[in-house]
Every structure is written in C-alpha cells, then in structure tokens.
Amino acid sequence: MNNKSLTRVARTSIACVALYSVLTLALAEELRQVKLTTSMGDIVVELYSEKAPKTVANFLQYVKDKHYDGTIFHRVIGNFMIQGGGFDANYVQKPTRAPVEHEGRQALEKGGPRNVPGTLAMARTSDPQSATAQFFINVKANGFLDPVLIPPGDPVPEFQYQGETYRNVPRAELLNANKLFGYTVFGRVISGMDVVEKIKSTPTGSGGPFPTDVPKTAVLIQSATLVK
C-alpha cells in the first residue's frame, strides 16, 4: 500500500472516529433531556447526570414509567418556585419507589448549580433522604435551599451559617445536620421558561388537601418524555 492510500485510510479512520464521537455525545445529551408537555405549554429540561447520577437516574425511571403523565403542579408560589409530579388532577397522591439518596453536596462539589432561576431540584420532606418523585423549578434565586459545603477538618475549627459562628464542631455532626443538607439540583430549563413564568403567575388558592398555593385552574403535566 502506497503513502497516498495510507493517507486516505488514515483520514477515513479519523473521520469515522470523529463521527462516532459526535453521535455518542449527541445520544448522551439526548438521554439527559426531558420534555414536560403541560396544559400551559412545553418545558424542556436538561439533566446533570454526571453531577447527580442517582437523582437523574431516579427521575428518568419515573419518566419511563410514565409516572408524571397526568400529574399536576400542585404548589405554585410566584416569588419562589413551582412544584409538581406527585398528585393527579383529583389530588390523589401517586405511589412511588423508595427514596433516592440525597446528592446535593456531591453535585455542588462537582461544580453543579445552585438553586437559581430555572433550575430543577428534588422536593422532599424535612428528612433530607425522603425525595422520591416530586420536583420543583426555581423561579428566583433561592440560596437558602442550597446544600452547605462543610469545611475540612475534624473537628471543624470554624464554621459559619446564617450569621452564626460555630467552632470546633465534630465533622460528622455537621455532615448529618438536617438543616445543612439543602435540596439537590439536578437539571435546568433549556426551553420553555416562558411557560414556567405563566405557571408561576397563575391565580392560586385552596385545593384538595392543600389550604393554599394550588392553581385555581389545574396545571396538568400531560406527559413527560425523553427528547429524541
């Protein structure tokens, strides 16, 4: 085989490798995007599978199981967030799997985002390890929901939180303090933020078991699908 033939083969091989890489990356991106088709329009979210892998896998499994289809945004606070994914239009709570492990700190340590406008986070009870299917979309900067990173050391020589200073606190005590876990951010809205704005502005009142913050006209998640 002469030099020209070798050059052609090399170029063809490089082109094939490049095409394969592009297709692989495209597929990976595709699997990290979900479209929420709502009664007020479409919202597309991109998921941070590298930063919060267990949380994203949990969310995608609920998408694949069609758990979110027919659920509502049952909690809408215009200067805070919109929350959904747990109740149907009759306010019947949908069954869920076991809770997913809290990954808020790990996500932040990997460079993940905080609770800023347009980000997607897991809803939970006061127990940091209680998140299952419900999620919320931040409509403003909600820094008080961010996980708190613990400084090095054991005991931690000095730690500040909400204006108070703590000194020589055992590291485990800080790592396990419920108030420091925050909420795991695992994605962001990449299309349809105008729809989020419409939802956050919808009139609210009481509904079902909830005394406040329920849209007077149900905002339905008609379907949640992987973007192809």
Rounded to 10 degrees, what is the CA torsion of 90, 92, 95, 96?
80
User: Strands 210-215, 204-207: parallel, antiparallel or unpaired by DSSP?
Assistant: antiparallel
Residue range 102-135, pLDDT digits in tens: 999 999 999 999 999 999 999 999 999 999 999 9
CATH 2.40.100.10 for domain 33-147+182-226, yes or no, is yes
Residue pLDDT, tens place only, 39-82? 999 999 999 999 999 999 999 999 999 999 999 999 999 999 99
Is 131 in contact with 102 (CB distance < 8 Å)?
A: yes
